[in-house]
Amino acid sequence: MADRSLNILVAEDDCVSAMVLRRALEKLGHKVTIARDGSEAWDLYFENPFRIVISDWMMPNVDGIELCRRIRSLQDNNYTYLVLITAKTSKEDRLLAMELGADDFLTKPLDVPELTARLVVARRLLDAQDTALAQAQQLSRMVEVVDASKKRFSELFMGLPIPCVSFDADGILREANHAAEQLYAFSPESMHSDLVWDRMCDASDAARFREFALNIVKNHDHTKGPAHPCDASTIEWVRTKDENLQFLLGTAFPLRAGDGSIVGGVCAVIDLTRERTLEKHMIHQIKMTNELNEQLASANFELERLATTDALTGLRNRRYFVDCLNKATCERSSELALMMIDVDHFKAFNDQFGHVEGDTVLRQVGQILSANCPEGSVAARYGGEEFVVLLRNVDLSGAKYVSETLRRAIEQNSWPHRPITISIGIAMLGEHATNSNSLIVAADEALYRSKTLGRNRISISECLEKAA
């Protein structure tokens, strides 16, 4: 303290004693105000902040004891040190004075060294009191700062648009912000003492949530500092609210005390219901679309098959065959042989045994042709009782060989009503038959010759025969 001077009030009705006292106190560097009696002292005490009051005991009207009692009854923040001057030495008197608020006594006549020593004691007590007061004020300011920061944090927590709850180390709910209150229809009163897993999710998820929350509280390194985002864990769960399912995602991290020990956890909740519902809807849609696609592909495949298949025999139909032939003749990538096949005397068979039996024969011929054609060949029904086979990568002798195989297979099959035979005409793509049309014409011409030569035989086209 730079200023060691004290403001001292002296109440003394004897002007000579007052003079002596003023002299002594001013010599010690203090500021002195003299009151002529107790009531004047009482008035002055209100006007100035005196740290020390030195009062004569015996004064008219308000005496020293009464002055002590009045000053003490004020309960001022700043302590006033009260000294009574007396010739009285009775122990009872002194005890009464101390009980009423006197701190110390001086005797008349004044002894200056004693006064100095007693003022040192007074100063020590007042300094201690000042220090205590300053500390109390500082503490009060710190409390204010802490309170303000607490309030700010609380407003931040409460106002977050994400539902947040905190829980203690036993999992008991401590706080919930407004968003959480809204999501969970919490009332702040009802919340405390409830376990977080009992309030946050359906009973079916409670055990899982309990494990999650207790892991947050227990399984973290206690020596670590404040909560780090890495400490956060997440959990997804489902909750029924008003008979609707809520899909929720919780992110939780531990809460630590000043010493780093975990005292609880905070869990922020994100409502994924909309996303999860959309996701579910989308998955359903995709599944439906896939099923439809499969059905469509299968229908297309069937349609394609139907469009290129002869309904009676199951062989390829004429349209498909013509396409194949056109492509193959255009490519000219290999030797092509075309066999034109006709069931002998089929009209007569039909007339004699009926169309149903005739159809059975055609179906069976189709099966035999299909079974005996080499791989890579195309067998088709050309129309009526006419069939065609397109062979790739064969020369004339290969074509003849295949034709003979087919002719024999038909001939040797056991037929129900009468033997069935076929006539075959072969044409090769080449100098005399350069496209699909001329190839068909050539094969047809060869077939016609097989017919005129007695049926159940193989003929090659005239041009080939001449060339050979």
| Positions marked active-site | 385
Stretch that binds other proteins, among 10-18, 45-53, 139-147, 360-368 (CB under 8 A): 10-18
Interaction between residue 13 and other proteins (CB under 8 A): yes
Contact present, 244 and 271 (Cβ < 8 Å): no
Interaction between residue 117 and other proteins (CB under 8 A): no
Contact present, 194 and 173 (Cβ < 8 Å): yes
Cβ-proximal residues to 301 (8 Å cutoff; 6+ apart), any chain: none
- Of residues 186, 190, 206, the one with CA closest to residue 198: 206
In the complex, the smallest distance separating the C-beta of residue 73 from other proteins, rounded to whole angstroms, is 26
Which residue among 4, 5, 7, 19 contacts other proteins (CB under 8 A)? Answer: 19
d(CA 434, CA 440): 10
In the complex, the smallest distance separating the C-beta of residue 60 from other proteins, rounded to whole angstroms, is 8
352-391: which residues touch other proteins (CB under 8 A)? none
Interaction between residue 161 and other proteins (CB under 8 A): no
In the complex, the smallest distance separating the C-beta of residue 27 from other proteins, rounded to whole angstroms, is 7
DSSP lists the bridge partners of residue 255 as 264
Stretch that binds other proteins, among 54-62, 165-173, 192-200, 336-344 (CB under 8 A): 54-62
Stretch that binds other proteins, among 9-17, 74-82, 344-352, 356-364 (CB under 8 A): 9-17
Q: 38-47, long-range: CB within 8 Å, 24+ apart, which pairs?
A: 38/11, 38/62, 38/63, 38/64, 38/66, 38/67, 40/11, 41/9, 41/11, 41/67, 42/67, 42/70, 44/9, 45/9, 45/71, 45/80
Which residue among 16, 203, 230, 468 contacts other proteins (CB under 8 A)? Answer: 16
92-111: which residues touch other proteins (CB under 8 A)? 108-110
Q: 88-94, long-range: CB within 8 Å, 24+ apart, which pairs?
A: 88/57
Instruction: Give whichever of 27 and 418 is closer to other proteins, judged by the CB atom.
Output: 27
In the complex, the smallest distance separating the C-beta of residue 14 from other proteins, rounded to whole angstroms, is 5
Q: With CB under 8 A as the rule, give the number of residues binding other proteins.
A: 18
In the complex, the smallest distance separating the C-beta of residue 75 from other proteins, rounded to whole angstroms, is 32
What is the pairing mode between strands 52-56 and 164-168?
A: unpaired
Which residue among 29, 60, 354, 376 contacts other proteins (CB under 8 A)? Answer: 60
Which residue among 58, 158, 232, 238 contacts other proteins (CB under 8 A)? Answer: 58
Instruction: Give whichever of 23 and 124 is closer to other proteins, judged by the CB atom.
Output: 23
Instruction: Give whichever of 65 and 426 is closer to other proteins, judged by the CB atom.
Output: 65
Scan for tokens 């068979």, then name that residue: 349
Instruction: Give whichever of 48 and 107 is closer to other proteins, judged by the CB atom.
Output: 107
What single letter denotes the amino acid at residue 419? P
DSSP 358-415: HHHHHHHHHHHHHHHSPTT-EEEEEETTEEEEEEES--HHHHHHHHHHHHHHHHHS--
Interaction between residue 413 and other proteins (CB under 8 A): no
In the complex, the smallest distance separating the C-beta of residue 114 from other proteins, rounded to whole angstroms, is 12
Stretch that binds other proteins, among 23-31, 89-97, 295-303, 312-320 (CB under 8 A): 23-31
What single DSSP character describes residue 73? T
In the complex, the smallest distance separating the C-beta of residue 23 from other proteins, rounded to whole angstroms, is 6
Q: How far is CA 434 from CA 146, 328, 379, 424, 459, in A?
A: 104, 11, 21, 20, 19
Instruction: Give whichever of 16 and 356 is closer to other proteins, judged by the CB atom.
Output: 16
For residue 264, give the 3-state DSSP assignment. Answer: strand
Interaction between residue 28 and other proteins (CB under 8 A): no
Q: Is residue 295 within a helix (H) or strand (E), and if so which, with residue range?
A: helix 273-308
- Of residues 383, 363, 177, the one with CA closest to residue 266: 177
Cβ-proximal residues to 422 (8 Å cutoff; 6+ apart), any chain: 341, 342, 343, 344, 365, 387, 406, 407, 410, 411, 456
Contact present, 310 and 410 (Cβ < 8 Å): no
Contact present, 6 and 30 (Cβ < 8 Å): yes
In the complex, the smallest distance separating the C-beta of residue 17 from other proteins, rounded to whole angstroms, is 4
Stretch that binds other proteins, among 56-64, 93-101, 166-174, 438-446 (CB under 8 A): 56-64
d(CA 125, CA 373): 127
321-340: which residues touch other proteins (CB under 8 A)? none
Interaction between residue 208 and other proteins (CB under 8 A): no
In the complex, the smallest distance separating the C-beta of residue 8 from other proteins, rounded to whole angstroms, is 17
Interaction between residue 87 and other proteins (CB under 8 A): yes
Interaction between residue 27 and other proteins (CB under 8 A): yes
- Please give the span between the terminal C-alpha atoms of the chain, in angstroms, as a whole number: 140
List contacts with other proteins (CB under 8 A).
13-17, 19-20, 23-24, 27, 56, 58, 60, 87, 108-110, 112
